[in-house]
Amino acid sequence: MSFEVIPAIDLRGGKCVRLFQGDYDRETVYGEDPAAMALHWQDLGAKRLHVVDLDGARSGRQANATAVRAIVKAVSIPVQLGGGVRDLDVVSHWLSHDVDRVFLGTVAVTNHDLVRVACRRFPGHIGAGADARDGQIAVRGWEESTGETVVDFSKRLLAAGATALSYTNIALDGTLLGPDIDGMTHLLGEIGETEAQIILSGGVATIEDIVKASKVPGLGGVIVGRALYEGTVDLTAALAAIEEV
C-alpha cells in the first residue's frame, strides 16, 4: 500500500468539528454538512477518509450515525470509522453498511476478548486507535488514562490481527505544532515488521510535515485535520508532493 494522506472528519452534534488537544470545551466547527465535506476531500484526490464520532467516543453510543451514513453514501473511497464502538453488533452493523474499517479504542482496553473475536470474524476490517497522553493510552473521548503504554497496546492489537493502527500524541492533536514523528519512529521500532497499515495522526501543520512523515520507514499514512480545514495544507499539493518523494 502506498503512503496515504487521509483527511479527518470529526463529528459532534452532526457537524464537522475539530478539538484542541482532545478538549471538548475547545471546539471549532468547520462545516454543517459532513457528507459535503467528505465529497470535497474525495474530489481533491483523497483515497481514504478517517471519520470519528466524538460524541460516541465519550458516551459509548453511536451519536452521529446519521452523519456517518450520509458520508458513506456520498463517497466512493474507503471510509474508516472510530468512536463509540463498544460491541460486535456495532462493528458488524457498520461493516455491513459499507464502512471499510472500524477502529477500536476504549473497548480495545476494556475487552481484550472482543478485540480478538472482531479481528477473527472481520479480517482486514478492524483498526485500532493508539491515542496516547504522556505515553499512555487514553480512552472514553481521551478523558481517561488507562495506564497501558502505547507500545504495549499497539503490540497487543497487532498481535490480535488489527489491519491498521493509528498513533496520536494527544498533546499535539489540533495544535498545528507538527506531528510526533520521533514518537512514531520509536513506536515503529518497537512494533517491528508488520503487514498492518501504521498511520500517524495529530499536529500536522504543513506539507513539509507530510513529506517528512512519508519518509519514515514503515509508516503507511498520515491523518490530517485542522491543517486542511484552515488551509495550511492544500490536499492536492500534498498528494503531489509525496508522489515526488
- Residues identified as active-site: 10, 131
Among candidate residues 114, 109, 107, 39, the one with its CA nearest the CA of residue 77? 39
Q: Cell match 477473527: residue?
A: 120
In 97-234, which residue ranges form alpha helices assigned H by DSSP?
106-110, 112-121, 150-160, 181-191, 207-214, 226-229
Contact 82, 127 (CB under 8 A): yes
CB atoms under 10 Å from CB of 169, counted, come to 26
Q: Where are the alpha helices (DSSP H) in 97-176?
A: 106-110, 112-121, 150-160
Rounded to an integer, what distance in angstroms lies between the CA atom of residue 240 and that of residue 38? 20
CB-CB contact of 58 with 27 (8 Å): no
Rounded Cα distance between 153 and 133, Å, is 13
